Chain A
Amino acid sequence: MSQKFEKLSVLVDGEELSSSSSDNHLIDDVKNDADLMQKWKSYHLIRDGLRQELPVQLNFDIADKVAKAIESEPAMIATKKTWRNIPIVGQVVPFAKQGGQMAVAASVAVAMILGVQQLNQADTDVPYNAAPPILGVQGGLSPVSYDQTRALPQTNESEQRRRVNAYIVDHNQQMRFKSTEQVSNSTEPSVQDMTIEEQVNTVENIPE
């Protein structure tokens, strides 16, 4: 028996046995022998553990659970079919409800960011910086009714997009400049600040 376990271990490791016929023989044995089958399972689990491949949650014997669930399911005969009764769709809905909020938030963010990127590429030459500072001044000059300032949700939204996008662009620039500093911590005579700004501003198409 222990020899069999040894052979099984070798098989799990993917190392070839001496002859393929004994290989097949062993596989047949595993199919028929409950002990070996259990060992086969455990060896794989141990290997996954050693390789740190185990998932965050372990779901053992899904097949058994599914089989039991099916058995305990009351037979549905001649019920009116709605989409909820279709097994897969019925399962999906509560799941979607569960994770929906986060998923929607994330996808909105992605859509927003991607949208902005495309927008930005279309007219990179348009200076965006003109409008926003006025907002603050307006408030300082005269009391503006709440409704009036609220009447510009569209600009607030695009303003927000623009700001988020600015962070993404800057992150990519910083990654590129990061290695620069590692090489030269010495202060070299640098190009005038203005020139650098210009250069940096134009670096839009950075991979990733």
Chain B
Amino acid sequence: MLVSSATYNALAQEDASDLKDAPTTTVTSPKVTAENWLAKMSHAMRALNYSVSLVLLTPGNDAQPYLWLHGVNDEGIELEQLNLLNGPGREVVRIGNKVSYFEPNVPPYSLESSIINSPLPSDFFRHPEKLKDGYDFFMIGRSRISGRAAQQIRVLSKDRSRYGLNLWLDQETGLLLKLNMFSLESELIKQIQVTGLNVTDKPDGFFSKIENSMLPEVISYQPKSLSNSDWEIKYLPLGMKIVKRDLHRLSGTGKTVEYIMLSDGLVDVSVYLQDFKGDEPIQNLVGKVESDTLLTIQQGTLNVTVIGKIPAETANRIATSIQSVH
């Protein structure tokens, strides 16, 4: 009686539009798709005035509470603040394209950027369309999160080489209520749970207190970009692109490494190539640092190190695909 799983997979992949129209996943009208919902999210994230309390969880670590404020002022400039509420704190303020980091033990500094770098996947929140090459989106159903009606969306990599996401978006505003990042074995990698959401007409009063001239100066960091390298990566997960390639010095060791950053719009992966001549190579190892996978292997005369939120198998596949151009 039991039909094989292959049949169901085939069924599932047959037509994505069928899926969206299936009775289980209808929202209000059959035309609403997961893409529509993500577009709604991205618009809401950029255009609304909101204040969000959230808790970040990574298995094996303490929960981290954050307060996240966002607003748009009269001139149409985006204002954003992300504040870690436990311990000595860590505060990031963004005014337009200027992001200022205030952290313990470090003099404050600013970077020119349109997003705050944080455990939140801000780039994805603002530009979910970047994921369409590498990921499929599914409407799942409705549920109740943080006391509000929520629409669940699932994001899965097309080639099953990366972690997936479960998102719960506020039915009314489209803002994020909950996010689960899970591995291919459905283990939780990271969770963001919103505990309070407040949308207002005006930006939070906090922003009126910020004086632009008081913010630290913008520093810039531009290492030599690398046009021709002796090495190339033969395998990239679907939808992943090389976004940066340079030579720079590691501040921890003072050694120069060839650096490649890969990104698919959701996760960023760093690949380091270091010739170990005259030096003892790093032993092969694989492990996890919070939700990042770290893999380092010897590939010919190179030490290849891959770090990022990807499964170890994928990291290994990327690392072993590196070959000499010659």
Contacts and interface: CB of A to CB of B under 8 A. Distances in A.
Interface of A: 9, 13-14, 38, 42, 45-52, 54-56, 58, 60-61, 105-110, 112-114, 117, 124, 128-129, 132, 135-136, 156, 159-160, 162-171, 173-184, 187-188, 190-191, 195-197, 199-208
Contacts of B286: 105-106, 109
B287 A109 contact: yes
Contact of A52 (B123, B138, B287, B307): B138
A179 to B, nearest CB: 4
Contacts of B290: 208
B255 to A, nearest CB: 8
A13 B142 CA distance: 11
Interface string B130-173: 00000010101100000000000010100000000000000000
11 contacts: A13-B24, A48-B8, A49-B11, A58-B5, A110-B289, A162-B253, A177-B111, A179-B111, A179-B117, A197-B249, A206-B103
B325 interface: no
Contact of B289 (A52, A60, A113, A174): A113
Contact of B268 (A166, A175, A188, A202): A175
A178 B261 contact: yes
A14 B112 CA distance: 48
Given A60-B2, A196-B221, A207-B118, A171 B11 contact: no
Main secondary structure on B side of the interface with A: mixed
Contacts of B255: 163, 166
Given A46-B11, A113-B287, A205-B90, A163 B252 contact: yes
Interface stretch (B191-199, B204-212, B232-240, B277-285): B277-285
A164 B259 contact: no
B76 interface: no
Contact of B253 (A52, A112, A129, A195): A129
A205 B107 CA distance: 12
Contacts of B12: 49-52
B222 A170 contact: no
B141 to A, nearest CB: 7
Contacts of A47: 24
Given A49-B11, A175-B268, A181 B244 contact: yes
Interface in B248-296: 249-255, 257, 259, 261, 263, 268, 270, 272, 278-280, 282-283, 285-292, 294, 296
B186 interface: yes
Interface of B: 1-3, 5, 8-9, 11-12, 19, 22-24, 64, 84, 90, 97, 103-107, 109, 111-115, 117-119, 123, 136, 138, 140-141, 154, 156, 184-186, 219-222, 243-244, 249-255, 257, 259, 261, 263, 268, 270, 272, 278-280, 282-283, 285-292, 294, 296, 305, 307-308, 312
A91 B12 CA distance: 35
Of the candidates B22, B113, B249, B263, the one having the most CB atoms from chain A within 10 angstroms of its own CB is: B113
B219 A196 contact: yes
Given A163-B252, A180-B221, A52 B292 contact: no
Contacts, number: 211
B73 to A, nearest CB: 19
A136 B278 contact: yes
Contacts of B106: 202-205
B282 A106 contact: no
A110 to B, nearest CB: 5
Given A45-B8, A178-B263, A191 B280 contact: no
Given A163-B253, A166-B250, A183 B112 contact: yes
B97 A204 contact: no
Given A160-B283, A204-B105, A54 B252 contact: no
B251 A201 contact: yes
Given A46-B11, A166-B253, A174 B112 contact: no
A110 B288 contact: yes
Contact of A128 (B3, B117, B220, B252): B252
Contacts of B104: 205
